[in-house]
Amino acid sequence: MTLYEAQDVALAFGQALLARRYEDARALLAPSDAAITTIEDLQRGFETFVPLDWEGEILGADVILTEWPDREEDDVALVYVPIAGFVYSEAVTVVVTRTPLGLRVRGVEFGRP
């Protein structure tokens, strides 16, 4: 699995959130995160930073780290997904990890660091 594939998973997750397709975003979660994260959790977390009347676009996905102190064995990358708005910008930061289902997202953080 390459870093490009990790970026693609993070990008798909961010695009699903921006399109308000929370069920699709949840389907990209690692099983451990999906077991404790509802669609409503994703919606509430995302819409706290990106309200319904907000207009913007995903600018891409940037791998920021491949090694970090609390990295788990199957983690591939920590990926930052910037979301540009007309007035201000936000972001979603995720860990992309290997699972039996393929690469998935875990450890979602909403908002800019």
Domains of the chain with CATH codes: 3-110 (3.10.450)
Low-confidence ranges of the chain (pLDDT < 70): 1
Least Cα distance to 9 among 23, 24, 21 occurs for 24
- The answer to whether the beta carbons of residues 98 and 106 sit under 8 Å apart is no
Tokens of 6: 């990790």
Count CB atoms within 10 A of the CB of residue 104. Answer: 23
The predicted model scores a pTM of 0.94
Q: What is the pLDDT of residue 1?
A: 62
Residue type, 32: S
Task: Please tell me the predicted confidence (pLDDT) of residue 103.
Answer: 97
pLDDT of residue 92: 94
Contacts of 16 (CB under 8 A, 6+ apart): 22, 24, 25, 28
Do residues 96 and 3 lie in contact, with contact meaning Cβ atoms separated by under 8 Å? no
